[in-house]
Amino acid sequence: MSYNLLKGKRGIIFGALDENSIAWKTAEKVHEQGGTFVLTNAPVAMRMGAIKELAEKTGSEIIPADATKVEDLENLVEKAQEVLGGKLDFVLHSIGMSVNVRKGKHYTDQNYDWTAKGWDVSAVSFHKTMKVLYEKDAMNEWGSIVALTYMAAQRVFPDYNDMADNKAYLESIARSFGYFFGTDKKVRVNTISQSPTPTTAGQGVKGFDGFIKYADEMSPLGNASADDCADYTLTLFSDLTKKVTLQNLFHDGGFSNMGVSAKVMERFMEE
């Protein structure tokens, strides 16, 4: 359903890999709501995914960029404004990667070169993106920058490995940079802490299927889907949330405030 929530708004969407990605669903819904955007991803991810199909569907251009390289980001931000015809109103950072997880390294036995690569891609890339947007004065006033995170930043989920540390770092960057973006440019910066979601990235985590079921039974409203997350992201891009900034917003069906649920307890009750 289109309310034209984002009519006339322009932006950049990072990280759409395939139709399971939250970034992909968000791009489709931004398009439905009248927003225009450029799509971007790292060249290697673009070869793996189907981003061209999304670009055709939404009438968008693709500008490849390695989000860990400031010069790539500078090129992206300049070209995006040229293509879209002005400053930006929204940016979605939907990037995360852990080499330790991919290679099966246990949290207690990390390869620290891989650890550094992981936080560069998953967290520092967000700082670099905002630095470029800030220095180039590329955001309109009351613009909105959103990054995706997960509750392992606050609580222990053993198999989430060093991605938990990456997400904690990401959330801190959002608050710290968000302060300067708010006071100096009137731009909002928030993170959405999403339910475990069966995206291509999420499925790399050990025991993920079991955990999705557990979270679903713990949450009063059940898990939030990638579609649900895209809808929530739209509200943060819209003018309806102008004074929401520096927040880590839990979008998880209520999971984050639960201790235990009746459904989960039933599994442990004696007959």
* Residue 61 bridge partners (DSSP): 38
Closest among 182, 226, 212, 214 to 18, alpha carbons compared = 226
* Residue 11 bridge partners (DSSP): 37, 90
Q: Going from the N-terminus, what domains does the chain have, and what CATH number goes with each?
A: 10-266 (3.40.50.720)
Report pLDDT for 223: 98
Residue 155 burial (CB count, 10 A): 10
Question: Which CA distances in Å does 31 have to 5, 42, 204?
Answer: 10, 22, 29
C-alpha angle with apex 20: 110 to 249, nearest 5 degrees? 70
Structure-token pair, residue 79: 């070209």
Cβ 4 vs Cβ 35: under 8 Å: no
pLDDT under 70: residue ranges of the chain: 49, 201-206, 270-271
Report pLDDT for 271: 54
**pLDDT one-digit tens code per residue, 37-52:** 999 999 887 777 689 9
Report pLDDT for 1: 78
**pLDDT one-digit tens code per residue, 211-261:** 899 999 999 999 999 999 999 999 999 999 999 999 999 999 999 999 999
Distance CA 239, CA 132 (A): 23
Strands (E) across 110-227 are located at 139-149, 188-194
User: What crossing angle do the helices spanning 163-185 and 112-119 adopt, rounded to 10°?
Assistant: 30
Q: What is the pTM of this model?
A: 0.96
Report pLDDT for 47: 78
Q: Which long-range contacts (CB under 8 A, 24 or more apart) does 260-265 make?
A: 260/218, 261/217, 261/218, 261/219, 261/220, 263/217, 263/218, 264/214, 264/217, 264/218
Report pLDDT for 203: 64
Report pLDDT for 198: 85
Location of structure tokens 């967000």 = 126
